[in-house]
Amino acid sequence: MSEIKLTFPSNQKVNVSFKGFEIKTDQPLSAGGDGTAPSPFDYFLASLASCAGFYAINFFRSRKLNTDGFDMKVDFDWDEKNHRLGFVNFIMTLPPDFPDKYIPALKNAVDLCTVKRTILNPPEFKTLINKN
């Protein structure tokens, strides 16, 4: 089992220590934070985007395809009523010489993103409390 350690330096800040890295988070000014770091949800979105990007660029590189002109972005919309993401789009602009026969396989590769697959098949969550 892996473990992530949390520290709480001040105000709304929460730092995460994992695998030798420290990830600093904060809340925006509008949410009572100091705005000194991305929020945890910002990291979630970045995690989803970078995971999909990893699978996309790995597809290109494993087939030795030209990446000049390849561009990828993720757009999303917030569902105010349900207070969650409403939709997420992975948008890729392909080089002009990208073979059409690979488009379905590229889409499938992006769908392999571990973050996305975890959202689609969520783990069991438990909140455990210890008292000193």
- For CA atoms 107, 75, 50, 98, the dihedral sign is positive
Q: Which residue has the higher pLDDT, 1 or 42?
A: 42
Predicted local confidence at residue 85, as pLDDT: 94
Q: What mean pLDDT, rounded, does the chain reach?
A: 96
- Taking only the tens place, the pLDDT of each residue in 108-119 is 999 999 999 999
At 2, list the tokens. Answer: 């892996």
The answer to whether residues 113 and 121 touch, using CB atoms and an 8 Å cutoff, is no
Residue 1, pLDDT > 90, answer: no
Domain range list for the chain: 1-38, 39-122
State residue 107's pLDDT score. 98
Sign for the CA dihedral angle at 20, 25, 118, 109 comes to negative
| Model pLDDT for residues 82-110, shown as the tens digit of each residue | 999 999 999 999 999 999 999 999 999 99
Whether CATH 3.40.50.720 fits 39-122: no
Alpha-helix residue ranges (DSSP H) falling in the chain: 40-62, 103-111, 114-120
